[in-house]
Amino acid sequence: MKTIKNEAVKMFMALMFTLLPLYYTDNYYYILDDKNIIFEIFSKIIITVIGSLLVIHLIWDIYKKKLGTDVKAEVSKVNSLDITMILFLVATIFSLIHTNNFETSFDGSAAWLVGGYALIIGVVLYFIISRFFSGKADVWAYLLLGSLAVIIIGILDRFGNDFLVMHDEIPYSWNIFISTIGNVNFWAAFLSMIIPFFMLVPIFLKSRGYRFFVYLFLGISYFSLFIVLTNTSYIGIGTALLFIVWYSLKDMKRLKNLAVEGIVFSFVGAIAEYLWKNPNTFARPMDVDTISYMLLNYRLYFLPGILGVAVIFFLLVEDRLSEEKQTRVRHFVENVLSKIWIGLICAGVGGVVVYVASNYSLELFNYRGSIWYFSFHGFMDGSAGDKLIGVGPGLLDSVTRPQIENASFFVEWDYLYNTAHNDVLEYLVTMGIVGAVLKVVMYIVPFVMFAKRKNNEAQKAAVLAALVGYMGQGMITGPYLFVYVFYIIFLGAFSTYDRMEQIS
């Protein structure tokens, strides 16, 4: 029965990795609903299958008088992330009970379908995956293949090859839509998890052929960064890269992987620059946003490659040193340099906070400053109950609309004000202080769990990199069902690897 559960969960994960990003009907405006249908169908199937097997297992335990023993064994494996998710589930339910618009809050129709239903089912799926995912790495092949298909379609779409006829119902000049995912911000959120995850995958792959294929995938993914209007991709991936660099410094053997990826980035950047400066190569010129423009125009894309070559040269020299000198070098890199990197991260975060605070305006980050302004003031104007447990999941617009209508200056309300474009602020308004605190704890706990185990598996680190990427994009991109489902899967997988280390 355990094998059946493991295979059922593996099949669910594989289907989400391949169908959810690829699924598309001939009506672009309903792409959110299409993905929601796919999610609902397979989430209900996996919950029904696992639930039925658990009932059978419960009956068998009662018959064999093993129920008490199995319950104690399961309780002993509960970790801090499990507790956080349970509390988040309770907070979601209380927020739903408290809301004045239960139906809209539950289905998330006013918040890109991330309402109470998605949050509740997400917690259930987390526990299913964390308990019954086998931990075998073969499932990540489905993630790679599904993601590769989406990214190739997105690249072709940017160059004017609309072979899926995705732009029939919208002006082809609209740059805000891409691939089968939808809004480019959702594309950025997708890449913010996928790229960091696969940046650490080569570390636990034994086959050189498999590693080469992953590097090829990363090269194609890097190329998509240059040609899509998604500055937020760089924010999410950049945030994850802070962790990836630290993890690589903790073991010098991992630096070679990071160096190769830097060289691949520079190589792909050179190709992107050529195509950018020769716009007649394809039917549609490349779309270049601020960061991509800086990288290509000033050829800053060469920096990661230069650094990568320097690291490889350093590793070759280090390998020729005496054993005593090698020990000293490794101690400096793994113990001193890694701590210096942590210090630089703290200084950088402080600098960003100071910059945003001192330069804050409604136009900040493409008018996200306006969304944050009205969201926070709406929270402050709420009742004590609203401040504590929120106005209801997915109901940010019920706060931003009145704020905009009563503003002393003119602002035109539109769908952008449906979400806060900041995860913590989103949950602060919709689920109150309790929801926001639990969301922050949900971000912090995986780091604590990762640091707690001395033998950190590379697969666990790769999953954590994806989670960090989600956090990075969550600071500036709104919640989206497709991205949230991937986040839950990664969160459950992380808990699985932690439980495996706990048992061993």
Q: Is the domain of 97 the same as that of 161?
A: no
Q: Is the domain of 260 the same as that of 365?
A: no
Residue 367 lies in a domain: yes
Q: Is the domain of 279 the same as that of 392?
A: no
Please check the confidence at residue 142 and state whether its pLDDT lies above 70.
Answer: yes
Q: Is the domain of 262 the same as that of 228?
A: yes
**pLDDT attached to residue 171:** 65
Please check the confidence at residue 2 and state whether its pLDDT lies above 80.
Answer: no
**pLDDT attached to residue 479:** 78
Q: Is the domain of 188 the same as that of 269?
A: yes
Residue 120 lies in a domain: yes
Question: The whole model's pTM is what?
Answer: 0.95
**pLDDT attached to residue 408:** 84
**Confidence bin at 89 (pLDDT 50/70/90):** very high
**Which one has a higher pLDDT value, 252 or 408?**
252
Please check the confidence at residue 477 and state whether its pLDDT lies above 80.
Answer: yes
pLDDT tens column, 419-451: 899 999 999 999 999 999 999 999 999 999 998
**CA–CA dist 194, 202 (Å, integer):** 14
**pLDDT attached to residue 167:** 67
Dihedral, 72, 75, 76, 80 alpha carbons, nearest 10: -170
Number of domains in the chain: 2
Rounded to 5 degrees, what angle do the CA atoms 200, 206, 207 make? 105
**pLDDT attached to residue 212:** 96
* DSSP character at residue 109: T
Range among 87-91, 143-147, 228-232, 362-366 with highest mean pLDDT value: 87-91
**CA–CA dist 284, 159 (Å, integer):** 5
Of all residues in the chain, what percent carry a pLDDT higher than 70?
95
State which of 320, 344, 376 marks the end of a domain. 320
Please check the confidence at residue 321 and state whether its pLDDT lies above 70.
Answer: yes
pLDDT tens column, 172-225: 556 667 778 877 888 889 999 999 999 999 999 989 999 999 999 999 999 999
Dump the DSSP string for 369-411: HHHHHHHHHHHHTS-HHHHHH-S-TT-THHHHHHHHHT-SS--
State which of 257, 289, 320 marks the end of a domain. 320
**Torsion sign over Cα 165, 198, 422, 40:** positive
Q: Is the domain of 370 the same as that of 264?
A: no
**pLDDT attached to residue 228:** 80
Q: Is the domain of 115 the same as that of 199?
A: no
pLDDT tens column, 34-70: 889 999 999 999 999 999 998 888 887 787 777 777 7
pLDDT tens column, 252-295: 999 999 999 999 999 999 999 999 988 877 777 777 888 999 99
**pLDDT attached to residue 503:** 61
Residue 171 lies in a domain: yes
Element (H or E) spanning 183, and its range?
Answer: strand 182-183
Residue 57 lies in a domain: no
Q: Is the domain of 490 the same as that of 468?
A: yes
Q: What's the rounded mean pLDDT across residues 119-147?
A: 94
Please check the confidence at residue 499 and state whether its pLDDT lies above 80.
Answer: yes
Lowest-confidence segment of 148-162, 247-261, 265-279, 307-321 by average pLDDT = 148-162
**pLDDT attached to residue 177:** 74
Residue 73 lies in a domain: no
Residue 222 lies in a domain: yes
**Which one has a higher pLDDT value, 386 or 167?**
386
**Which one has a higher pLDDT value, 319 or 161?**
319
State which of 320, 337, 371 marks the end of a domain. 320
Please check the confidence at residue 398 and state whether its pLDDT lies above 90.
Answer: yes
**CA–CA dist 389, 384 (Å, integer):** 9
Q: Is the domain of 495 the same as that of 413?
A: yes
Range among 88-102, 134-148, 363-377, 403-417 with highest mean pLDDT value: 88-102
Nearest residue to 130 (alpha-carbon basis) of 96, 164, 79: 79
Residue 69 lies in a domain: no
**pLDDT attached to residue 303:** 97
Cβ 116 vs Cβ 484: under 8 Å: no
**pLDDT attached to residue 27:** 65
User: Residue 216's Cα: distance from chain center in Å?
Assistant: 21
Please check the confidence at residue 238 and state whether its pLDDT lies above 60.
Answer: yes
**pLDDT attached to residue 231:** 83
Of all residues in the chain, what percent carry a pLDDT higher than 90?
66
Please check the confidence at residue 456 and state whether its pLDDT lies above 70.
Answer: no
Nearest residue to 227 (alpha-carbon basis) of 279, 304, 263: 279
**Confidence bin at 156 (pLDDT 50/70/90):** confident
Q: Is the domain of 151 the same as that of 206?
A: yes
Residue 30 lies in a domain: no
Query: What value does the mean pLDDT of the chain take?
Result: 90
Dihedral, 258, 457, 487, 187 alpha carbons, nearest 10: 20
**pLDDT attached to residue 66:** 77
Q: What's the rounded mean pLDDT across residues 116-143?
A: 95
Inter-axis angle of helices 302-319 and 323-331, nearest 10: 140
Q: Is the domain of 110 the same as that of 131?
A: yes
Q: Is the domain of 449 the same as that of 401?
A: yes
Domain hosting 107: range is: 81-137+360-504
